[in-house]
């Protein structure tokens, strides 16, 4: 029996992971489930899967969680430190599906115990790619990609050598506004940005898909995970979201990965790796689909992609600054404090300010320095946004 933990169990990826685990109850023993605000879901899943420990990120909800678990014998814990400790609980396979930079510390702890970390939390790689991969290497741990594009690349690379890879192409649906006139984007509402044309995901990643910040994070994730030069990473708009990624080899061959828009494929691949097992996902009928479309992204529509290139050229803690500024700008957009198109301007301004702040981006990549860069970026983002409001 494999011991499994799911971080971010109450979210979209977490629930899809539990759906797969529920289909083979005798194969898995659930150690830890974590969540945030959704205590009812967390407690009911902890009971259903007989978890040892349930953790909410919100300390103020500890009492609610404790009460919801009363009589079950399941341990309850709350807060950032408890989440980090949850990462240190022994488990063979851990799903990292907390949203945002908050997923980094528990993921690092999981790697320190030599576990297999199925990484949906792309923000960890953007914020601290080198630290994460070095920690995995030092402790004999494994990091498996769960983002659909990176899982696709990973699968296309089975049996191949990285030095034969010429380029990696990740596709993007173009998000909710791909066909909107450019001049209308500034007036886009949170509700409109939260409706993805193809994927059913958490709200934050859905809005990031509309702004293409999600793809910007994924380009950086590609560089960090596969160790490929940024110039050899391409983005292709593919409205159908059926081809997830392509790998181009030095003999000119392109290997594409296709599948329906169902994250249970990528999650299931990571869960069963290195084997393949039957998965409850629909099969593609290409004859019925008939046509697939591709086009180059328009950088005027998607400034986030240009910013990702700048971050990769800068390296160091620029990824931590970029991600934190993006999270702060996204919070402000969701709260109705700034417009949709203002988000990229805020992130760009924070990156420029960070560059001027004595060696902050050049500091060694430790968890403390990353936290400091993240904290500073959020403060600078607030300053930039209060300037916008004035
Ligand atoms: P959701 O918003 O659906 O879920 C996020 C999870 O994280 C929930 O369990 C939530 O708890 C918890 N959470 C929220 N804030 C915090 C915090 N500060 N500390 C600890 N836990 C927190 O997100 P998704 O499932 O969509 O995405 C999860 C991750 O996977 C993200 O990094 C995303 O980019 C990535 N990803 C998602 C895909 C998808 O299809 N959804 C595809 C590829 C990658 P609660 O809900 O209880 O508040």
Same domain, 59 and 163: no
Q: Which atom of ligand 1 is nearest to the CA of 122?
A: 32
Local confidence band at 216 (pLDDT 50, 70, 90 cut-offs)? very high
**Pocket flag, ligand 1, residue 201 (CB < 6 Å):** yes
| Confidence check: pLDDT of 169 > 80 | yes
- Identify which of 9, 11, 125, 212 to mutate to test ligand 1's pocket (most ligand atoms within 8 A of the CB): 11
The CA 44 to ligand 1 mean position distance, Å, reads 18
Look at residue 307 and tell me if it is in a domain: no
User: Does residue 49 belong to any structural domain of this protein?
Assistant: yes
**Tokens coding 282:** 């629909």
Mean pLDDT of 203-218: 96
From the CB of 204, is ligand 1 less than 6 Å away?
yes
Which distant-in-sequence residues (6+ apart) come within 8 Å of 351 by Cβ? Answer: 307, 310, 311, 314, 318, 321, 322, 325
Cβ neighbourhood burial of 111 (10 Å; 0-12, 13-18, 19+): buried
Q: Is residue 58 included in any domain, yes or no? A: yes
Domain finish residue from 116, 145, 174:
145
Lowest mean per-residue pLDDT among 39-53, 169-183, 255-269, 338-352: 169-183
Same domain, residue pair 40 and 75: yes
137 and 179 in one domain? no
Same domain for 275 and 168: yes
Tell me, yes or no, whether 255 lies in a domain: yes
CA distance 362 to 184: 38
Lowest mean pLDDT among 3-7, 174-178, 329-333: 174-178
The reported pLDDT for the residue numbered 243 is 98
Same domain, 120 and 163: no
For the Cβ of 36 lying below 6 angstroms from any atom of ligand 1, the answer is: yes
Atom of ligand 1 at shortest distance to CA of 148?
Answer: 43
Residue of the nearest CA to atom 42 in ligand 1?
147
Closest residue by Cα to atom 20, ligand 1, is: 57
Query: Residue 355's domain is classified under what CATH number?
Result: 1.10.1740.10
Domain annotation covers residue 127:
yes
Q: Under a CB-based contact definition with an 8 Å cutoff, are residues 244 and 152 in contact?
A: yes
The CATH number assigned to the domain holding 111 equals: 3.40.50.720
Residue 309, domain member (yes or no): no
Candidate from 202, 203, 204, 327 with most ligand 1 atoms within 8 A of CB, to mutate: 202
> 76 pairs with which residues across the strands?
54
233 and 157 inside one domain: yes
Entry pTM:
0.97
Cβ of 55 below 6 Å from ligand 1 = no
Whether 119 lines ligand 1, by a CB cut-off of 6 Å, is no
Gap from CA of 24 to ligand 1 centroid (Å): 24
Predicted local confidence at residue 301, as pLDDT: 86
Output the 3-class SS for the chain. CEEEEEECCCCHHHHHHHHHHHCCCCCEEEEEEEECCCHHHHHHHHHHHCCCEEEECCHHHHHHHHHHCCCCCCEEEECHHHHHHHHHCCCCEEEECCCCHHHHHHHHHHHHCCCEEEECCHHHHHHHHHHHHHHHHHCCCEEEECCHHHHHHHHHCCCCCHHHEEEEEEEECCCCCCCCCHHHHHHCCHHHHCCCCCCCCCHHHHHHHHHCHHHHHHHHHHHHHHCCCHHHEEEEECCCCCEEEEEEECCCCEEEEECCCCCHHHHHHHHHCCCCCCCCCCCCCHHHHCCCCCECCCCCCCHHHHHHHHHHHHCCCHHHHHHHHHHHHHHHHHCCCCCCCHHHHHHHHHHHHHHHCCCCCCCCCCHHHHHHHHHHHHHHHHHHHHHHHC
- Rounded to the nearest whole angstrom, what is the distance from the C-alpha of residue 201 to the centroid of ligand 1? 9
- Cis peptide bond prior to 274, omega within 30° of 0: yes
Q: Whose CA is nearest to atom 41 of ligand 1?
A: 201
Split into its structural domains, the chain has a count of 3
- Verify that 201 and 280 share a domain, yes or no: yes
Same domain, 156 and 282: yes
Atom 43 in ligand 1: residue holding the nearest Cα = 147
Say yes or no to pLDDT of 390 above 70. Answer: no
CB-based burial label for 29 (10 Å; 0-12, 13-18, 19+): middle
Tokens describing residue 50: 């007989």
- Cβ proximity of 347 and 382 under 8 Å: no
Average pLDDT over residues 275-279: 97
353 vs 347: CA distance, rounded Å: 10
How far apart are alpha carbons 385 and 332 in whole angstroms? 8
For residue 159, pLDDT over 70 is answered with yes
For ligand 1, is residue 97 a contact (CB within 6 Å)? yes
pLDDT for 116: 98
Confidence of residue 196 (pLDDT cuts 50, 70, 90): confident
Cα of 120 to ligand 1 centre, how many Å? 9
Which residue, 21, 35, 37, 152, is CA-closest to 92? 21
Looking at the structure, tell me whether residues 338 and 365 fall in a common domain: yes
Give residues with Cβ within 8 angstroms of 155, minimum separation 6: 257, 269
Which atom of ligand 1 lies nearest, measured to the CA of 205? 34
State residue 50's pLDDT score: 98
Tokens in use for 225?
């995970």
pLDDT at 358 (0 to 100): 62
Residue 72 and residue 51 in one domain: yes
Are 6 and 95 in contact, with CB atoms under 8 Å apart?
A: yes
Q: Which of 119, 145, 171 is the last residue of a domain?
A: 145
Ligand 1 contacts CB of residue 99 (under 6 A) = yes
Candidate of 17, 205, 270 to mutate for ligand 1, largest count of ligand atoms within 8 Å of Cβ: 205
Residue 48 token pair: 């259903």
Average pLDDT over residues 200-214: 94
Q: Which of 125, 145, 165 is the last residue of a domain?
A: 145
Nearest Cα neighbor of 4 from 37, 36, 40, 45 is 45
Q: Is residue 219 part of a domain?
A: yes
Which residue has the CA at smallest separation from atom 36 of ligand 1?
120
Q: How far is the CA of 45 from the centre of ligand 1 (A)?
A: 16
Strand arrangement, sheet containing 75-78: 75-78, 53-56, 28-35, 2-7, 93-96, 116-119, 142-145
Task: Please tell me whether residues 15 and 132 are part of one structural domain.
Answer: yes
Look at 126-130, 145-149, 194-198, 212-216 and tell me which has the smallest mean pLDDT: 194-198
Does the CB atom of residue 365 touch ligand 1 within 6 A?
no
Domain, as residue range, for 239: 151-289
Q: Same domain for 272 and 328?
A: no
Of the pLDDT bands very low, low, confident and very high (cuts 50, 70, 90), residue 197 is confident
d(CA 163, CA 324): 33
Asked whether residue 295 is assigned to any structural domain, the reply reads no
Q: What is the pLDDT of residues 58-102, one digit of tens each?
A: 999 999 999 999 999 999 999 999 999 999 999 999 999 999 999
């Amino acid at each position: 029996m494999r011991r499994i933990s799911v971080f971010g169990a109450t979210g979209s990826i977490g629930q899809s992971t539990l759906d797969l685990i529920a289909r083979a109850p005798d194969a898995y023993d659930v150690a830890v489930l974590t969540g945030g605000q959704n205590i009812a879901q967390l407690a009911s899943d902890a009971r259903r899967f007989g978890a040892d420990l349930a953790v909410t990120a919100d300390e103020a909800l500890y009492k609610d969680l404790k009460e919801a678990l009363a009589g079950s014998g399941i341990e309850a814990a709350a807060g950032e430190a408890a989440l980090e400790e949850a990462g240190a609980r022994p488990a063979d396979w851990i799903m990292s599906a907390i949203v945002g930079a908050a997923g980094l510390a528990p993921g690092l702890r999981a790697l320190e115990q030599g576990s297999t970390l199925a990484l949906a939390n792309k923000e960890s790689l953007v914020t601290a790619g080198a630290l994460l991969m070095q920690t995995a290497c030092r402790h004999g741990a494994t990091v498996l990609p769960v983002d659909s594009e990176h899982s696709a690349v990973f699968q296309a690379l089975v049996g191949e050598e990285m030095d034969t890879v010429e380029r990696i192409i990740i596709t993007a649906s173009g998000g909710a506004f791909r066909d909107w006139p450019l001049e209308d984007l500034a007036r886009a509402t949170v509700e409109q940005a939260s409706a993805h044309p193809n994927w059913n995901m958490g709200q934050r990643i859905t809005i990031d898909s509309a702004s293409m910040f999600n793809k910007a994070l994924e380009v950086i994730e590609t560089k960090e995970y596969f160790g490929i030069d940024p110039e050899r990473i391409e983005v292709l708009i593919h409205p159908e979201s059926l081809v997830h990624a392509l790998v181009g080899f030095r003999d000119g061959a392109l290997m594409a990965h296709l599948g329906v828009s169902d994250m249970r494929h990528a999650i299931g691949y990571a869960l069963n790796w290195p084997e393949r097992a039957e998965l409850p996902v629909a099969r593609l009928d290409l004859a019925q689909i008939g046509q697939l479309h591709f086009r180059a992204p328009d950088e005027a529509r998607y400034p986030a992609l240009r910013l990702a290139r700048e971050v990769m050229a800068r390296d160091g803690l620029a990824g931590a600054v970029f991600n934190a500024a993006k999270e702060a700008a996204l919070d402000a957009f969701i709260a109705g404090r700034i417009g949709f198109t203002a988000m990229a301007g805020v992130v760009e301004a924070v990156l420029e300010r960070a560059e001027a702040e004595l060696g902050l981006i050049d500091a060694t990549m430790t968890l403390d320095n990353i936290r400091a860069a993240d904290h500073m970026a959020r403060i600078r983002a607030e300053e930039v946004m209060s300037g916008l409001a004035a």
